[in-house]
Amino acid sequence: MTIELGDRIPSVTLKAMGADGIEDVNTDSLFKGKRVALFALPGAFTPTCSAQHLPGFVRNADALRAKGIDEIVCLSVNDAFVMDAWGKAHDAGDKVMMVADGNAQFTLALGFELDASGAGMGTRSRRYSMIVDDGEVKVLNAEAAGAFEVSSAEHLLSQL
């Protein structure tokens, strides 16, 4: 089943790089009492993800926060080391939190898995963006396979 507007975000433990190494990021804590812009993509360092998707959110972080977003989260089915290196390569800094869904638990729970085994990438996430308000999905923009039309930071900004 695919997550829909009004649904609650599933409780899953993800990973992110912290000051002392890899840290657990529980989705219950991540979304509790906050308005979060979450976007997911097939893979760090891949063409569209690196050229457009992540840079758009880094570039528009201040505008999103001005519209009431407390946290901007980038999620991919990669490990925390890769997500950290990718964030550094794009100057995500404190603008975008880089989160790893290494085992695709969150992605599978949302119903947004993408079979990229034909390209040697295994299970990945479909491309999407959403606004999550205190754990509830308020805005959801899921892309068709191979598309980058509705999940951009600019499109999400237009919905706030």
Which CATH number covers residue 86?
Answer: 3.40.30.10
Total tally of structural domains belonging to the chain: 1
Range of the domain at 125: 13-158
The pLDDT tens digits along the chain (160 residues) read 799 999 999 999 999 999 999 999 999 999 999 999 999 999 888 888 888 899 999 999 999 999 999 999 999 999 999 999 999 999 999 999 999 999 999 999 999 998 777 776 768 789 999 999 999 999 999 998 889 999 999 999 999 9
Query: Which residues have C-beta within 8 Å of that of residue 55, sequence separation ≥ 6?
Result: 90
With respect to residue 5, please indicate whether it lies within any of the assigned structural domains: no
Identify whether 99 is part of a domain: yes
Q: How many CB atoms lie within 10 A of CB 116?
A: 16
Q: Is 49 a catalytic residue?
A: yes
- What's the pLDDT score for residue 120? 67
- Decide if 101 is inside a domain: yes
What local confidence, expressed as pLDDT, does residue 21 receive?
A: 96
Rounded to whole angstroms, the Cα distance separating 100 from 159 reads 26
- One of 36, 49, 77, 96 is an active-site residue; which one? 49
Listed as own residue / partner, the contacts of 120-124 with beta carbons closer than 8 Å and 24 or more positions apart are: 121/42, 121/43, 122/77, 123/77, 124/42, 124/43, 124/76, 124/77
Cα–Cα distances in Å, from 6 out to 28, 78, 133? 16, 27, 10
Residue 31, domain member (yes or no) = yes
In a domain, 153, yes or no: yes
Positive or negative, the Cα torsion across 42, 82, 29, 52? Answer: negative
**8-48 tens-digit pLDDT:** 999 999 999 999 999 999 999 999 999 999 999 998 888 88
